[in-house]
Amino acid sequence: MNILELRNVSKSFGGVKAVDDCSFEIKENMITALIGPNGSGKTTIFNLVSGLLKLDSGKIIFDKVDITNKSPEFISNLGISRAFQQSQLFDNLTLEENLLLAFDNEDTKFFKNLLGINKITADKKEKIHHYLKMINLERHLHHLAREFSYGQRKLIELVRAIINPHKLLMLDEPVAGVTPQLRNKITDILLELKEKGETILLIEHDMYFTFNVADRIIVLDKGKPIAEGTPDEIKDNPKVLEAYLGE
Protein backbone atom coordinates (compact mmCIF):
# COMPACT_ATOMS: atom_id res chain seq x y z
CA MET A 1 0.00 0.00 0.00
CA ASN A 2 1.23 3.51 -0.83
CA ILE A 3 1.71 5.87 2.11
CA LEU A 4 3.03 8.84 0.09
CA GLU A 5 2.21 9.92 -3.46
CA LEU A 6 3.62 12.78 -5.50
CA ARG A 7 1.37 13.62 -8.45
CA ASN A 8 2.79 15.86 -11.20
CA VAL A 9 4.65 18.01 -8.67
CA SER A 10 6.59 21.04 -9.94
CA LYS A 11 8.66 23.72 -8.21
CA SER A 12 10.76 26.48 -9.78
CA PHE A 13 13.24 28.97 -8.38
CA GLY A 14 13.78 32.07 -10.47
CA GLY A 15 12.68 30.34 -13.65
CA VAL A 16 14.80 27.23 -13.02
CA LYS A 17 12.76 24.06 -12.52
CA ALA A 18 14.08 22.23 -9.47
CA VAL A 19 11.23 19.69 -9.61
CA ASP A 20 9.55 19.14 -12.98
CA ASP A 21 6.20 17.32 -13.26
CA CYS A 22 7.46 14.69 -10.80
CA SER A 23 5.35 11.65 -9.87
CA PHE A 24 6.19 8.62 -7.73
CA GLU A 25 4.82 6.56 -4.82
CA ILE A 26 6.37 5.41 -1.55
CA LYS A 27 5.17 2.06 -0.28
CA GLU A 28 4.68 1.16 3.38
CA ASN A 29 7.00 -1.03 5.45
CA MET A 30 10.15 -0.62 3.39
CA ILE A 31 13.16 1.66 2.96
CA THR A 32 13.10 3.76 -0.20
CA ALA A 33 16.10 5.84 -1.26
CA LEU A 34 16.02 8.96 -3.45
CA ILE A 35 19.31 9.27 -5.32
CA GLY A 36 20.56 11.39 -8.17
CA PRO A 37 23.30 13.83 -9.14
CA ASN A 38 23.63 17.19 -7.41
CA GLY A 39 20.78 19.50 -8.41
CA SER A 40 18.43 16.67 -9.33
CA GLY A 41 15.72 17.89 -6.92
CA LYS A 42 16.06 15.51 -3.97
CA THR A 43 16.17 18.02 -1.12
CA THR A 44 13.56 20.22 -2.80
CA ILE A 45 11.20 17.23 -2.82
CA PHE A 46 11.88 16.65 0.88
CA ASN A 47 11.12 20.30 1.59
CA LEU A 48 7.88 20.17 -0.43
CA VAL A 49 6.71 17.02 1.38
CA SER A 50 7.64 18.53 4.78
CA GLY A 51 5.77 21.77 4.03
CA LEU A 52 8.88 23.95 4.14
CA LEU A 53 8.30 24.93 0.50
CA LYS A 54 5.09 25.49 -1.45
CA LEU A 55 4.37 23.64 -4.70
CA ASP A 56 3.87 25.55 -7.96
CA SER A 57 1.61 22.77 -9.21
CA GLY A 58 0.66 19.16 -8.53
CA LYS A 59 -0.45 17.28 -5.42
CA ILE A 60 1.12 15.46 -2.49
CA ILE A 61 -0.98 12.79 -0.76
CA PHE A 62 0.11 11.31 2.57
CA ASP A 63 -1.81 8.46 4.18
CA LYS A 64 -4.84 9.33 1.96
CA VAL A 65 -4.77 13.00 3.09
CA ASP A 66 -3.99 15.83 0.65
CA ILE A 67 -1.08 17.69 2.30
CA THR A 68 -0.39 19.98 -0.67
CA ASN A 69 0.95 23.30 0.65
CA LYS A 70 -0.08 22.50 4.24
CA SER A 71 1.98 23.85 7.13
CA PRO A 72 4.99 21.92 8.50
CA GLU A 73 3.13 21.56 11.83
CA PHE A 74 0.06 20.06 10.16
CA ILE A 75 2.20 17.61 8.20
CA SER A 76 4.30 16.64 11.21
CA ASN A 77 1.21 15.98 13.29
CA LEU A 78 -0.16 13.70 10.55
CA GLY A 79 2.85 11.46 11.06
CA ILE A 80 5.89 12.58 9.04
CA SER A 81 9.11 12.80 11.06
CA ARG A 82 12.21 14.27 9.42
CA ALA A 83 15.88 14.28 10.37
CA PHE A 84 17.71 17.18 8.74
CA GLN A 85 21.19 17.18 7.22
CA GLN A 86 22.17 20.03 9.56
CA SER A 87 21.69 19.66 13.32
CA GLN A 88 18.43 21.01 14.76
CA LEU A 89 19.28 20.25 18.41
CA PHE A 90 18.82 22.75 21.24
CA ASP A 91 22.42 23.40 22.29
CA ASN A 92 21.56 24.57 25.81
CA LEU A 93 19.43 21.51 26.63
CA THR A 94 20.80 18.15 27.70
CA LEU A 95 20.72 15.09 25.50
CA GLU A 96 17.84 13.68 27.54
CA GLU A 97 15.86 16.93 27.35
CA ASN A 98 16.31 17.12 23.56
CA LEU A 99 15.01 13.58 23.17
CA LEU A 100 12.11 13.97 25.60
CA LEU A 101 10.88 16.92 23.52
CA ALA A 102 10.59 14.61 20.52
CA PHE A 103 7.83 12.47 22.01
CA ASP A 104 5.18 15.15 21.41
CA ASN A 105 5.30 17.29 18.30
CA GLU A 106 2.36 19.61 18.98
CA ASP A 107 3.34 23.10 20.11
CA THR A 108 1.42 23.00 23.41
CA LYS A 109 2.88 19.63 24.35
CA PHE A 110 6.33 20.86 23.26
CA PHE A 111 6.27 23.71 25.77
CA LYS A 112 4.77 21.53 28.48
CA ASN A 113 7.67 19.15 27.99
CA LEU A 114 10.14 22.02 28.00
CA LEU A 115 8.75 23.31 31.29
CA GLY A 116 8.69 19.87 32.83
CA ILE A 117 4.89 19.76 33.07
CA ASN A 118 4.37 16.65 30.96
CA LYS A 119 4.99 13.38 32.73
CA ILE A 120 8.29 11.64 32.01
CA THR A 121 7.21 8.01 31.86
CA ALA A 122 9.26 4.84 32.21
CA ASP A 123 8.31 3.90 28.64
CA LYS A 124 9.78 7.12 27.29
CA LYS A 125 13.01 6.63 29.22
CA GLU A 126 13.25 3.01 28.13
CA LYS A 127 12.88 3.95 24.46
CA ILE A 128 15.53 6.65 24.78
CA HIS A 129 17.90 4.23 26.54
CA HIS A 130 17.42 1.57 23.86
CA TYR A 131 18.54 3.80 21.00
CA LEU A 132 21.25 5.60 22.96
CA LYS A 133 22.74 2.22 23.85
CA MET A 134 22.92 1.39 20.14
CA ILE A 135 24.96 4.55 19.51
CA ASN A 136 27.03 4.28 22.73
CA LEU A 137 25.69 7.50 24.24
CA GLU A 138 23.56 6.09 27.06
CA ARG A 139 26.03 7.44 29.66
CA HIS A 140 25.79 10.99 28.34
CA LEU A 141 22.15 11.78 29.12
CA HIS A 142 22.96 14.90 31.10
CA HIS A 143 25.55 16.38 28.75
CA LEU A 144 24.52 19.53 26.89
CA ALA A 145 23.90 19.10 23.15
CA ARG A 146 26.67 21.56 22.29
CA GLU A 147 29.24 19.21 23.84
CA PHE A 148 28.76 16.50 21.19
CA SER A 149 30.78 16.05 18.01
CA TYR A 150 29.33 16.41 14.52
CA GLY A 151 28.98 12.65 14.12
CA GLN A 152 27.36 12.24 17.53
CA ARG A 153 24.89 15.02 16.74
CA LYS A 154 23.94 13.22 13.52
CA LEU A 155 23.18 10.10 15.55
CA ILE A 156 21.17 12.08 18.11
CA GLU A 157 19.18 13.73 15.29
CA LEU A 158 18.37 10.27 13.94
CA VAL A 159 17.25 9.02 17.37
CA ARG A 160 15.11 12.13 17.87
CA ALA A 161 13.39 11.61 14.50
CA ILE A 162 12.74 7.95 15.37
CA ILE A 163 11.26 8.82 18.77
CA ASN A 164 8.98 11.49 17.29
CA PRO A 165 5.57 9.81 16.69
CA HIS A 166 5.38 9.03 12.98
CA LYS A 167 4.16 6.84 10.14
CA LEU A 168 6.92 7.95 7.73
CA LEU A 169 10.54 8.66 8.67
CA MET A 170 12.40 11.00 6.29
CA LEU A 171 16.20 11.13 6.53
CA ASP A 172 18.30 13.70 4.66
CA GLU A 173 21.81 12.26 4.12
CA PRO A 174 21.96 10.33 7.41
CA VAL A 175 25.60 9.23 6.96
CA ALA A 176 27.07 12.35 5.31
CA GLY A 177 30.34 13.29 6.99
CA VAL A 178 30.33 10.54 9.63
CA THR A 179 33.05 7.96 10.29
CA PRO A 180 32.77 4.40 8.92
CA GLN A 181 32.09 3.19 12.48
CA LEU A 182 29.17 5.59 12.90
CA ARG A 183 27.91 4.71 9.44
CA ASN A 184 27.75 1.07 10.51
CA LYS A 185 25.76 2.02 13.62
CA ILE A 186 23.26 3.98 11.52
CA THR A 187 22.96 1.01 9.17
CA ASP A 188 22.17 -1.26 12.13
CA ILE A 189 19.51 1.16 13.42
CA LEU A 190 17.79 1.45 10.04
CA LEU A 191 17.81 -2.30 9.48
CA GLU A 192 16.29 -2.81 12.94
CA LEU A 193 13.55 -0.29 12.10
CA LYS A 194 12.87 -2.09 8.81
CA GLU A 195 12.51 -5.38 10.70
CA LYS A 196 9.85 -3.67 12.83
CA GLY A 197 7.93 -2.62 9.72
CA GLU A 198 8.90 1.07 9.64
CA THR A 199 8.51 3.10 6.44
CA ILE A 200 11.61 5.14 5.65
CA LEU A 201 12.41 7.56 2.83
CA LEU A 202 16.01 8.73 2.63
CA ILE A 203 18.36 10.83 0.54
CA GLU A 204 21.96 9.68 0.45
CA HIS A 205 25.05 10.14 -1.74
CA ASP A 206 26.90 7.18 -0.20
CA MET A 207 25.99 4.44 -2.67
CA TYR A 208 27.54 1.63 -0.63
CA PHE A 209 25.32 2.53 2.33
CA THR A 210 22.25 3.09 0.13
CA PHE A 211 22.50 -0.22 -1.71
CA ASN A 212 22.91 -2.02 1.64
CA VAL A 213 19.82 -0.62 3.36
CA ALA A 214 17.31 0.28 0.63
CA ASP A 215 14.60 -2.06 -0.60
CA ARG A 216 13.74 0.27 -3.45
CA ILE A 217 15.58 3.12 -5.15
CA ILE A 218 14.15 6.05 -7.10
CA VAL A 219 16.68 7.86 -9.29
CA LEU A 220 16.08 11.54 -10.03
CA ASP A 221 17.60 13.70 -12.75
CA LYS A 222 16.59 17.25 -13.66
CA GLY A 223 13.69 17.18 -11.21
CA LYS A 224 11.96 13.96 -12.20
CA PRO A 225 12.40 10.18 -11.87
CA ILE A 226 14.39 8.45 -14.61
CA ALA A 227 14.54 4.96 -13.05
CA GLU A 228 13.03 2.99 -10.18
CA GLY A 229 13.68 -0.49 -8.86
CA THR A 230 15.62 -2.69 -6.48
CA PRO A 231 19.32 -1.98 -5.87
CA ASP A 232 20.25 -4.78 -8.29
CA GLU A 233 17.99 -3.33 -10.97
CA ILE A 234 19.44 0.16 -10.52
CA LYS A 235 23.15 -0.75 -10.43
CA ASP A 236 23.58 -1.34 -14.15
CA ASN A 237 20.72 0.79 -15.47
CA PRO A 238 22.13 2.73 -18.48
CA LYS A 239 19.95 5.80 -17.75
CA VAL A 240 21.36 5.97 -14.23
CA LEU A 241 24.96 5.61 -15.41
CA GLU A 242 24.41 8.35 -17.98
CA ALA A 243 22.86 10.71 -15.40
CA TYR A 244 25.82 10.29 -13.04
CA LEU A 245 28.67 9.97 -15.50
CA GLY A 246 27.45 11.54 -18.74
CA GLU A 247 27.82 9.83 -22.07
Domain regions of the chain by residue span: 1-76+199-247, 80-165
Tell me if residue 72 falls in helix, strand or coil: helix
- For residues 134 and 238, what is the distance between their CA atoms, to the nearest angstrom? 39
Task: Tell me the backbone φ, ψ of residue 81, rounded to 5 degrees.
Answer: -115, 130
Tell me if residue 241 falls in helix, strand or coil: helix
Domain 80-165 has CATH 3.40.50.300: yes
What is residue 117's predicted lDDT score, i.e. its pLDDT?
A: 43
Low-confidence ranges of the chain (pLDDT < 70): 85-87, 104-120, 245-247
Task: Tell me the backbone φ, ψ of residue 13, rounded to 5 degrees.
Answer: -125, 110
What is residue 87's predicted lDDT score, i.e. its pLDDT?
A: 66
Listed residue (105, 49, 45) closest to 73, CA to CA:
105
| Domain 1-76+199-247 shares a fold with domain 80-165 | yes
Determine the angle formed by the axes of helices 150-163 and 180-195, rounding to 10 degrees: 10
Listed residue (101, 130, 136) closest to 116, CA to CA:
101
What is residue 86's predicted lDDT score, i.e. its pLDDT?
A: 64
The pairing of strands 2-13 and 224-229 is unpaired
What is residue 114's predicted lDDT score, i.e. its pLDDT?
A: 54
Task: Report H helices in the chain.
Answer: 42-50, 72-78, 95-101, 107-114, 122-134, 150-163, 180-195, 207-213, 231-235, 238-245
- For residues 36 and 18, what is the distance between their CA atoms, to the nearest angstrom? 13
- For residues 136 and 14, what is the distance between their CA atoms, to the nearest angstrom? 45
- For residues 176 and 187, what is the distance between their CA atoms, to the nearest angstrom? 13
As a CATH number, domain 1-76+199-247 is 3.40.50.300
